[in-house]
Structure 1
Amino acid sequence: MRKIIPTILGGLLLTACGCNDSTRNILQGKTEKEQIAVVGKLAGRIQAIQVNKGDFVRKGDTLAILDIPEVAAKRAQAEGALTSANAQYQMAQHGATANQLKQLGAKKKALEEQFNFVKKSLNRLDAMVKDSLIPQQQYDEVFAKYQGAQAQLSAVNAEIADVQYGVRMEQQVMALGQKDRAEGALLEVETAENERYIIAPQDFSIETITLNVGELALPGYTLFNGTLENSTYFRFTVPESSLSRYKKGSNITVSVPYLDNLQVECTIRNVKQIGAYANIATAYPDYEMQDSLFEIIVAPKNADQAKEILNKTTVTIKK
């Protein structure tokens, strides 16, 4: 037993030394791609899913269709309200109907005959009252009837003019407002109908589909996750002591081991400090305990060359 323990310890030490030797001159990092999440705006059940995991979709493609029964009911309500509002507005613009105008015309004719009769009677009594042939009281009674007939005739003339040229402007504005409101409600329903279709906002590759057909999708719930096209970049973690080797804007060559060490010409896009508990990209962080850690973001010069590199795969650069 005493002979076996040193042998095992020696093997472990040799393995550890081998790992250090193989990574001493390189810095390992990870491939990253920009992520996108597609969510729904309205609550509804998944009626159909038009894509599969791994599919590449273009901007404007339909990813899924939601079943929202409430939209059909609201459309019927909005269309009914718009029909009523249109009728109210038309009536406000055109005023009375032809039948109503006939009734007002007949009323005016009767009042004109009554007015003319009273006027003739008043003219006859005018000379008689001057000659004291009739009492003043009788004349005053006819004169009062004359004034009443004249007022009624003026009122019916004003009523006819009102309906011929439409109702009051305030009523027309009110009717127009009701019409605009109904049109807005219908437009809202049409917008909600469009939201039944979950549309791809950008070109991207689908990685996950979170719901199945028949399941309920709530507003704001992520339905699809994916990676954007030509968004590949590389992430490395370096200690403060080595920071002088990596300047923002400088060129650097990234090697992809799983693709037979494919060489990708890149540019250092950003250098930033990371927290102690951040996701460290480098597998063998060679740094002193007092050193701060920094993350360097490296972008390929030719996006097409890097778009086929799988996400989260290991890449390397020379130290």
Structure 2
Amino acid sequence: MRRKLLPLVLLLIAAGLVGVLLLRPGIDGRQTLTGYVEGEPLYLAAPVSGAVEQVFVQRGQEVAAGDPLFVVDPTQLAAQRDQAAAEVAAARAQAEDARQGQRPAELAVFDAQVAAAEARARDAAADLRRIRPLVEKGIYAPARLDDAEAAHQAALAEVKAAARRRDAAELGARQGQVEAADERVRQAEAALTAAGARLADLAPRAPAAARVEEVFYQPGEWAGANQPVVSLLPHDRVRLRFFVPETVLAAYRPGRTVRFGCDGCQDGLTAKIVFVSPRPEFTPPVIYSRESRERLVYMVEAIPSVRLNPGQPVDVVPLEAGS
């Protein structure tokens, strides 16, 4: 008979313990919800392997946003950054040279054409000066003067045309050189920016105010690529987690404030709800009848108004349903 009663007694004891943990007297003698403090750490690493050169923090230290954490040997990436900077300087020098107006050798043919046209124009002018007085004296017919003037005008027109062809060719070549030089400058600057970013990745800084949770490597040790060197616990990633029965779940919504207490903490602590789980916790796959759904609890997360330690148990004052 005792053996038959033993499982029933154990079951009743377990049910009693669950009830005590989930809903027990606490703050101000009222029923409270059980919960604990949970922290979500950040793990900082370098994207490449290398020896840890410096570590600026130690476990338990408080850091502000932007504080340096550690440095992995930057020698190789620093050399790449310096090379990229030199390439930027060279590209800028080429772009400046392209704007100086120095003509490339292939434009010399246009200069020769202009010089030839100018020589023909001078010859035509000389012929015109020689023929004009002879026509006036009646030695040559007037038609000869007309031909000389026409040849002179044609020679002048050819000089202007050759000069325009030279200017157009020079402008087109110069414009193309300037555009190509500017493009090389942009490419070199982009490479320099990328090299600087890779170098900065070897010396991470704290993304937010936090507490150093752990330092995994010390100076001189070899850290693999993407292997965490330091873990941080940001203050805004420390939250309360407590569990609410399904019957009063509607009272808990993001944005609402709950009161809570903990061992050794001051009175009147509050936390703002930021998350309500859409799924029940610690519940076997049963049919959700009116009788069974009283056993369902839902996890709620809230950001506390004070700094707490992860793992610390808390008692949360329940909210009134419908409030």
Give the TM-score normalised by the residue count of structure 1: 0.62
Distance 1:16 1:188, change over 3 A: closer
Post-superposition Cα deviations, 1:196-227, rounded to whole Å, max 9, x if no partner, equal 32110100011133445321233xx5443322
Structure 2 match to 1:214:
222
Change (3 A) 1:148 1:70: farther
Change (3 A) 1:266 1:206: same
Asked if residue 180 in structure 1 is aligned to residue 196 in structure 2, the reply is: no
Query: Residue 255 of structure 1 aligns with which residue?
Result: 262
Query: Which deviates more from structure 2 when the two are superposed, residues 149-158 or residues 172-181?
Result: 149-158
1: distance between equivalents of 2:189 and 2:16?
A: 75
Q: Report the alpha carbon displacement of residue 265 of structure 1 after superposing the two structures with TM.
A: 2.9
CA positional deviation for 1:58: 0.8
Query: 2 CA distance for matches of 1:116 and 1:268?
Result: 95
Residue 30 (structure 1) aligned with residue 29 (structure 2): no
1:205 aligns with 2:214: no
Q: Give the whole-Å Cα distance in 2 for the aligned partners of 1:108 and 1:89.
A: 28
State the secondary structure of the residue aligned to 2:234.
strand
- What runs of 5+ residues in structure 2 fail to find an aligned partner? 26-32, 104-109, 284-290, 319-323
For the Cα contact (< 8 Å) 2:243–2:299, is it kept in 1? yes
Judged with a 3 Å threshold, the aligned counterparts in structure 2 of structure 1 residues 36 and 155 are, in CA distance, closer, same or farther, namely farther
Is 2:264 the counterpart of 1:265? no
Which residue of the other structure, out of 84, 87, 111, is the alignment partner of 1:81?
Answer: 87
Note the 1:104-143 alignment, pairs <5 A.
115-117=121-123, 119-121=125-127, 124=130
Which amino acid in 2 is paired with 1:169? Q
Query: Which amino acid letter does the alignment assign opposite residue 269 of structure 1?
Result: I
Q: How many Å apart are 1:94 and its aligned residue?
A: 1.9
Q: Give 2:309's aligned residue.
A: 310
* Whole-angstrom CA distance in 2 between matches of 1:115 and 1:271: 91
The 2-side partners of 1:174 and 1:60 are apart by 39
Residue 271 of structure 1 contacts residue 294 of structure 1 at CA under 8 Å; is this kept in 2?
no
> % of aligned pairs identical?
21
Measured after TM superposition, the shift of residue 29 of structure 1 is 1.7
SS in 1 for 2:57: coil
The amino acid across from 1:312 in the alignment is: G
With normalisation by structure 2, the TM-score equals 0.61
Count of matched residue pairs: 285
Distance 1:87 1:267, change over 3 A: closer
- The correspondence of residues 286-301 of structure 1 with structure 2, limited to 5 A, is 289-291=292-294, 292-300=296-304
